[in-house]
Structure formats: structure tokens, C-alpha cells
Homo-oligomer: A and B are copies of this chain.
């Protein structure tokens, strides 16, 4: 298997990307293509110890930054590390792509270059969010700020297939994020989506309130991309803020500092549980290819985990299953008309 990685995406690129790829080349039975400034990448790789034949460099000297307008960047920066990476998947020279770069540009590029799976109306960005029972998949988390009820239904299918096949969750419980448990609650979008999900044949367990997400009451949480992005970022923000408050408690005096030292291993475990970099990247589901978005502030370990996610995803039949399920659904809808 061959994974292409955008060496110039993310806050810590290219150094952290290179280190993550070296780790992956050592640990995983794959080849990696790194796109970006070949000269600079060669320099960075010089000091690293890894099986040399497993990392291939692909020169692409332009860089899409977070300040670039997504659609314009994809059109105008043809020789960017991001566009080059997507092109390699399109040409079947790689089985999956990983980038931590400009999310909008990455999604727009994947949409434009790789296209949608037939039957999928709107691809969705899905993220694993850790919780007390392990974690759940939340989608969409930002690809579609405004959605229709049928989009949520498709997100549910795609999330369920991913949870089952990649995350190995058995018969995943699918819920719609809502502001109350009752079917009659919510905004127009979720009120209309509820009956669609109810009759879908999915393991639909009804509405989930945001309060219950951290308790793991659902395996797949479905919402529009605006709400999902709020959930993702707020979870991260609240965790970080609480941990920083806790740090304040620990630094208070000599006694608390001793306690902090004694608790360190357990607290490290806790922090690890909540740490995005442990969980690999976010798949862009519904795209005709395996596209993994790594967190913007990914470190080497996060890149390694994102690459591992890409490998697992690419070795499953998730996209074929989505094609089958949503293609078939489309036919059904036609028949009903």
C-alpha cells in the first residue's frame, strides 16, 4: 500500500510531517510519497534513520497556506504539495492521502480532483471524539455549514459504515444531535431528519443531547457541519481549559506539587485519552478516494496516527459499501417519485 502525505500542511510542517512519515515507514508495511519542496525534504530526511526505499519524494514547490482562499488556491496553485498529493490519488499512484493543511482547500480540492462517490450528495468530514466509553464518530464537523435532512441521513449511513468497518464497532448506535430527547424537539433540520433516520434501517437510537456525547451514549453522532464543528472545537477547548485550571491547582504550593508528581502517570493516561493526536485523522467520507485530514496542529505522533488511519481505511471496503448503499438509496428515491 502507498500513502501520499502533504509535507507542507499544518502548523508544524514540514518538520513534524517528515518525522511522522519516518515513524510510519519504520512501523508500517507501506510506502510513503511525500509531496513538497524536494530539496528541503531531502535535507530533513538526511538526519533521520528509516528504511530509505519506503519514502519517495515528489517535488511540488508551491504551498497553500491557511490564509489562501480555498477554491482559488486549488485552482491557481496547481504545483502545490496539496494539489500534487490529491493528483497522485486520482492517478492511482497512491491509495490514500493525508494532509494537515488548510481544511477548506483540502476539502475543495478532494471534491474537485477526486469527486464524490456516486449517490453521495454531500461528502462529510467525520471526527473521532474520545469519551468515557472510548469514543464516537461525529459528522459532519465542518464540510457543510448548511444541510438538508437527506444530507443528515447520508451522513448517518457513511458514519455507520466507517464506524463498523474501520473502528470495528459492532452495529453502531446512530443518533441525531438535538436539544431534547423527544422526536418533536429541535430545529427544522433535525425534526425533518428524524423520520428519515427512523425508517432507514440503521441502528437509529433517536436524539442525543450534547450533554451525553462525553458519556458515549451514541457511536455515531449526526449533525450539520456548523453544529459538528462547534462540538469538536468546544470539546477540545473545555478539556484544555480544565486541564490548565488543574495545572494551576497543582502548582499552588509545595504539597500540591508533590501530589502532582505522584499523580503524574495517571494524569498522563487521562490526558492521553483526551488527546486528539492519539486518534489519527478525520476521514472525508463520500469522496471517491481515501482522504484523511490531520489536525492543523499535528505533531509527529499525530501524523503517524493519521497515516495509520489512512492505511486502515484504505484496506477496508468502506467506499464500496457507501457506493452500494447510497447509490441504491438514490434508485429507491427515484422509484418513489
Q: How far is the CB of A64 from chain B (nearest CB, A)?
A: 16
How many angstroms from the CA of A131 to the CA of B119 in the assembled complex? Answer: 44
Is A312 an interface residue when CB atoms closer than 8 A count as contact? Answer: no
Which residues of A231-251 are within 8 A (CB) of B? 231-242, 244-246, 249-250
Is A92 an interface residue when CB atoms closer than 8 A count as contact? Answer: no
How many angstroms from the CA of A241 to the CA of B215 in the assembled complex? Answer: 7
Interface string of A246-271 (1 = CB under 8 A from B): 10011010011001001100110110
Q: Is the CB of B229 within 8 A of A231?
A: no
Chain B residues within an 8 Å CB radius of A210: 229-234, 237
Q: A190-B226, A230-B230, A230-B231 are in contact. List 10 more A-B contacts (CB 8 A).
A: A210-B233, A210-B234, A210-B237, A211-B240, A213-B234, A227-B230, A234-B234, A238-B238, A245-B273, A250-B263
Is A214 an interface residue when CB atoms closer than 8 A count as contact? Answer: yes
Chain B minimum-CB-distance residue to A242: B242
Chain B residues within an 8 Å CB radius of A145: 179, 186-188
Is A177 an interface residue when CB atoms closer than 8 A count as contact? Answer: yes
Chain B residues within an 8 Å CB radius of A179: 142, 145, 225-226, 229-230, 233
Is A212 an interface residue when CB atoms closer than 8 A count as contact? Answer: yes
Chain B residues within an 8 Å CB radius of A230: 177, 179, 210, 227, 230-231
The number of times this chain is found in the oligomer is 2
Q: Is the CB of B226 within 8 A of A186?
A: yes
Chain B minimum-CB-distance residue to A178: B226
Is A146 an interface residue when CB atoms closer than 8 A count as contact? Answer: yes
Q: How far is the CB of A76 from chain B (nearest CB, A)?
A: 18
Chain B minimum-CB-distance residue to A103: B180
List 8 A-B residue pairs with CB atoms under 8 Å apart, sorted by A's residue number: A142-B179, A210-B229, A212-B237, A214-B238, A230-B230, A242-B274, A245-B273, A259-B263
Instruction: Give the number of residues in A that approach B within 8 Å (Cβ atoms).
Output: 53
Known contacts A229-B179, A270-B246; decide if A211 and B186 are in contact (CB<8 Å). Answer: no
Q: How far is the CB of A105 from chain B (nearest CB, A)?
A: 13
Q: Is the CB of B240 within 8 A of A214?
A: yes
Chain B residues within an 8 Å CB radius of A262: 255-256, 259
How many angstroms from the CA of A187 to the CA of B229 in the assembled complex? Answer: 11
Q: How far is the CB of A230 from chain B (nearest CB, A)?
A: 4
Is A132 an interface residue when CB atoms closer than 8 A count as contact? Answer: yes
Interface string of A201-235 (1 = CB under 8 A from B): 00000000111111100000000111101111111
Chain B residues within an 8 Å CB radius of A211: 233-234, 236-237, 240
Chain B residues within an 8 Å CB radius of A241: 131-132, 214-215
Q: Is the CB of A234 within 8 A of B244?
A: no
